[in-house]
Structure 1
């Protein structure tokens, strides 16, 4: 008798619009079965961390943080208005860029859109507090 293994790769658990506890219950049953392997993906969520926190995991934001920092600083510093603000308020500007990277939680698309918005604000003459 042949044994089959089933592998599930499921992304975006945090985007599930139903009851997340029900979703957790579904996968808790599956991960107990030796013939079922499950790879789940989600942005950080207390519900999923409580349920699956002891299981092996990769945190995307830990793997991409340096790349995101480089992208943010290279892209923003290429704007003349940004360089001017850096010379006037280096600490505040550095905090602003760090906040962008942290809020992205490893998602490049999010940081790209946020950086474009920041640059538009800088080009429009917004202060750092408004950007």
Structure 2
């Protein structure tokens, strides 16, 4: 697995997203929360990921988009370290739960802790 994050690895299907929130399990490392579900994905990829930031907390789209970019970049950098030997395809949704605008360093360290917690919980 490389450091790329192509479109086919993005979770876009409304049906998959609804199933993920209905049946998925979760892991939290404040201010991040990961909802995941082992599922058969339509693309031939091991993981599809979506990110979300609540509109209720961050009213301005510019700020929400900035946080989503930080989340995607942090995930992209950590992806090869954690998911090289993954056999089961997963759907992920990463939520930002904090109240203030984060720095990249904060997001980057919490993303590592979050993905480590996922691996430990799933026994990967």
With structure 1 as the length reference, what TM-score do the two structures score?
0.28
Decide which structure has the larger Cα Rg and report it: 1
Q: In proportion to residue count, which structure has more helix?
A: 1
**Structure 1 or 2: larger strand share?**
2
